[in-house]
C-alpha cells in the first residue's frame, strides 16, 4: 500500500521552506526554495501522486502559492498561525522546524486551518478594503484643510464646503503663497480621492448587488449600501460558522475576559477575528441606535447599566447574530426575533428597581409612542430621581447640589432635580 505524504510550507516574502513527512512522521524531503511557482512545482513533482495535503502558512502573500498549488491539482489548506503554537521550551527553531511542525500537525489531523475565499469574491473584497483606505486618506486631507482654514482665518470650514470647494476659491482665502499652495493641493487630492472612491463603489456594487446575502442585509437596522457590501464580502460563505455565537466571535463582538475562580485574570486575544466586520457592525450599531426605536431602547438599557462603549458593542453583537440568521436562512430582518416580546426588558427606570405610578408609566409610554415630546421631563419623586442619577455624575459639584435640592424637596413635597444629561426629573406636585 502506498504511504500518504504530508507537506508543510513555511512561507516568507522572498523564500519558502518545504518539508514532507510520511504517515509515520519520518522526514522524506526538505528544501529551501525561492518564491517562484515553477520551481516549487518542480520540487514537489516526484511526490505528486503520494501527496495527500499541503499546508501553507497563512501570511500576507499566500494568494499566489495557494492558487498555484490548487491549479496544479494539489489539495492545499491554509494554516492559521494564531491557532497553533510550538512548545515554549524549545531551545532552537528555524524555518525548517516550522515547516515540519506544519506537516506534523497535518499528519496528526490537528492543524488549525483558515478559510480560503473564492477567488472572484476575494479580488472584489480587496478592492472594497482599498476604498476604506482611500476614505481614511481623504478624511485626513479634509481635516488638514479645515485646520489650516481655522488657524489662518479664524473661521471653520464645514465638511460639505471642503468637499465641493474649488481650487480657485480656496486659494483666494489665503495671502501667503505657501498657504495657497497647500490648500490647493488638498482640494485637488480630495477631489481625486472622491472620484476614485465612487469608481470603486460602482464596480463593487455591480459585482455584489445580485448576491442573495447582500439583498437580505439591506433590511437590517443600521446597514446601508457600503456596510452591506462589507458584511457580504468579508463574511463570504456564512455556512463556515456553525452558530451565531461563532460568527459574533469572528466579528470581535464578544467578551475577551479570562475568568478563573470567579476572578478576572486578564484578557484573551481580542484581535482574533475580522477587523473589517468589527468596524462594520459597530458602525451599524451607531446608526441603528439613532434611527431604530427598539435598538435605541436596548442601547439605553445597556448604557444605563454600564457605559456607551459597552452598549454599542452589545448592540453590534446582537446585530451580528441577527445577520448570521438572516444570511443562513435567507430571511428578512424580523424585530420580533431580535427583541422577543416575552424577553423584552422593561425601560431603564424599571430595570433600576423603581416603582413608577400608573400615571408616570402612561406618560413614559406616551413619550415612546410619539404622543408627547421626549424632552419633557418625566415625573419622579426625589428619592426616585436620586436612584436614576448616573453614577459618574454624582462626583460633580452640580450633582451634589441636585442631591441637596432633592432632599429639600422631599421635606417640602416640592422640587425638581435636573441631572448633567439635561433631562429634567421633577417631583409630582
pLDDT in tens, 373-421: 333 334 444 444 444 444 434 334 444 555 555 555 545 444 444 444 4
Interatomic CA distance for residues 298 and 289, integer angstroms: 8
pTM summary value: 0.75
Q: Is residue 287 within 8 Å of 221, Cβ to Cβ?
A: yes
Q: Is residue 223 within 8 Å of 217, Cβ to Cβ?
A: yes
**Confidence (pLDDT) at 267:** 85
Tell me which DSSP letter residue 47 carries: G
Residues 165-211: tens digit of each pLDDT: 999 999 999 999 999 999 999 999 999 999 999 999 999 999 888 88
Interatomic CA distance for residues 297 and 12, integer angstroms: 50
**Confidence (pLDDT) at 405:** 58
Residues 8-60: tens digit of each pLDDT: 999 999 999 999 999 999 999 999 999 999 999 999 999 999 999 999 999 99
Residue in 326, 351, 347 with CA at minimum distance from that of residue 338: 326
Interatomic CA distance for residues 407 and 292, integer angstroms: 38
Residues 333-360: tens digit of each pLDDT: 999 999 988 655 554 444 444 444 454 4
Interatomic CA distance for residues 161 and 137, integer angstroms: 18
**Confidence (pLDDT) at 170:** 92
Q: Is residue 99 within 8 Å of 208, Cβ to Cβ?
A: no
C-alpha cell at 217: 442585509
Residue in 137, 142, 140 with CA at minimum distance from that of residue 196: 137
Hey, CA dihedral for 58, 134, 313, 343, is it positive or negative?
negative
How far does the chain reach from its first CA to its final CA, in angstroms?
Answer: 93
Read off the pLDDT of each residue in 111-118 and give the average, rounded to a whole number: 92
Residues 268-287: tens digit of each pLDDT: 888 889 999 999 999 999 99
Read off the pLDDT of each residue in 322-332 and give the average, rounded to a whole number: 95
Coil, strand or helix: which one is 388?
A: helix
Residue 367 has pLDDT above 90, yes or no: no
**Confidence (pLDDT) at 232:** 95
> pLDDT band at residue 423, thresholds of 50, 70 and 90?
very low
Coil, strand or helix: which one is 239?
A: helix
**Confidence (pLDDT) at 386:** 42
Q: At what angle do helices 119-153 and 177-208 cross, to 10 degrees?
A: 150
Q: Please, which residues have CB within 8 angstroms of residue 282's CB and are 6 or more apart in sequence?
A: 312, 313, 316
Phi, psi of 140 (to 5 degrees): -60, -40
Coil, strand or helix: which one is 128?
A: helix
DSSP secondary structure string, 268-332? --TT-S-HHHHHHHHHHHHHHHHH-HHHHHHHHHHHHHS-HHHHHHHHHHHHHHHHHHHHHHT--
Q: What is the tally of helices (H) and strands (E) in the chain? A: 18, 11
Q: Is residue 203 within 8 Å of 130, Cβ to Cβ?
A: no
Q: Is 199 exposed, middle or buried (0-12, 13-18, 19+ CB in 10 A)?
A: exposed
The rounded mean pLDDT for the chain is 83
Interatomic CA distance for residues 403 and 393, integer angstroms: 11
Higher pLDDT, 298 or 401: 298
Q: Does residue 89 come out as left (phi exceeding 0), alpha (psi in the -120 to 50 range) or beta?
A: alpha
Interatomic CA distance for residues 89 and 82, integer angstroms: 19
> pLDDT band at residue 250, thresholds of 50, 70 and 90?
very high
Interatomic CA distance for residues 78 and 111, integer angstroms: 9
Residues 83-113: tens digit of each pLDDT: 887 777 777 888 999 999 999 999 999 999 9
Interatomic CA distance for residues 53 and 106, integer angstroms: 8
Interatomic CA distance for residues 78 and 20, integer angstroms: 16
Interatomic CA distance for residues 4 and 19, integer angstroms: 14
**Confidence (pLDDT) at 6:** 95
Hey, CA dihedral for 161, 167, 173, 177, is it positive or negative?
positive
Amino acid at each position: 500500500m502506498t504511504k500518504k505524504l504530508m507537506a508543510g510550507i513555511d512561507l516568507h516574502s522572498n523564500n519558502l521552506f518545504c518539508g514532507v513527512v510520511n504517515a509515520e512522521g519520518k522526514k522524506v524531503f526538505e528544501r529551501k526554495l525561492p518564491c517562484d511557482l515553477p520551481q516549487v512545482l518542480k520540487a514537489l513533482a516526484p511526490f505528486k501522486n503520494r501527496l495527500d495535503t499541503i499546508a501553507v502558512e497563512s501570511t500576507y502573500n499566500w494568494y499566489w502559492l495557494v492558487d498555484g498549488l490548487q491549479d496544479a491539482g494539489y489539495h492545499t489548506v491554509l494554516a492559521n498561525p494564531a491557532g497553533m503554537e510550538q512548545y515554549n521550551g524549545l531551545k532552537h527553531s528555524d524555518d525548517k522546524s516550522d515547516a515540519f511542525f506544519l506537516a506534523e500537525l497535518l499528519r496528526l489531523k490537528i492543524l488549525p486551518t483558515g478559510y480560503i475565499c473564492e477567488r472572484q469574491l476575494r479580488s472584489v473584497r480587496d478592492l472594497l478594503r482599498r476604498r476604506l483606505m482611500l476614505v481614511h486618506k481623504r478624511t485626513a486631507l479634509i481635516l488638514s484643510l479645515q485646520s489650516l482654514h481655522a488657524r489662518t482665518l479664524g473661521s471653520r470650514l464645514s465638511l460639505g464646503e471642503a468637499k465641493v470647494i474649488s481650487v480657485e476659491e480656496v486659494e483666494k482665502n489665503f495671502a501667503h503663497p505657501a498657504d495657497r499652495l497647500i490648500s490647493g493641493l488638498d482640494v485637488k487630492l480630495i477631489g481625486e480621492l472622491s472620484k476614485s472612491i465612487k469608481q470603486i463603489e460602482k464596480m463593487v456594487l455591480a459585482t455584489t448587488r445580485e448576491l442573495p446575502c447582500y439583498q437580505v442585509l439591506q433590511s437590517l437596522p443600521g446597514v446601508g449600501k457600503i456596510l452591506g457590501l462589507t458584511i457580504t464580502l468579508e463574511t463570504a460563505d456564512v455556512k463556515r460558522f456553525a452558530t451565531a455565537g461563532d460568527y459574533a466571535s469572528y466579528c470581535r463582538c464578544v467578551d475577551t475576559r479570562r475568568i478563573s475562580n470567579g476572578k478576572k485574570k486578564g484578557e484573551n486575544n481580542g484581535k482574533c477575528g475580522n477587523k473589517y466586520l468589527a468596524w462594520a457592525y459597530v458602525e451599524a450599531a451607531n446608526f441603528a441606535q439613532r434611527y431604530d426605536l427598539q435598538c435605541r431602547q436596548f442601547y439605553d438599557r445597556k448604557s444605563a447599566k454600564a457605559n456607551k462603549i459597552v452598549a454599542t458593542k452589545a448592540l453590534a453583537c446582537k446585530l451580528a447574530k441577527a445577520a448570521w440568521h438572516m444570511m443562513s436562512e435567507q430571511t428578512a430582518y424580523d424585530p420580533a426575533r431580535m427583541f422577543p416580546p416575552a424577553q423584552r426588558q422593561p425601560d431603564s427606570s424599571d430595570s433600576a428597581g423603581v416603582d413608577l405610578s400608573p400615571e408616570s408609566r402612561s406618560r413614559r409610554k406616551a413619550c415612546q409612542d410619539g404622543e408627547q415630546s421626549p424632552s419633557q421631563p418625566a415625573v419622579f419623586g426625589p428619592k426616585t430621581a436620586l436612584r436614576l442619577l448616573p453614577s459618574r455624575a454624582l462626583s460633580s459639584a452640580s450633582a451634589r447640589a441636585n442631591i441637596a435640592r432633592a432632599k429639600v424637596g422631599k421635606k417640602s413635597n416640592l422640587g425638581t432635580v435636573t441631572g448633567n444629561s439635561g433631562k429634567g426629573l421633577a417631583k409630582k406636585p
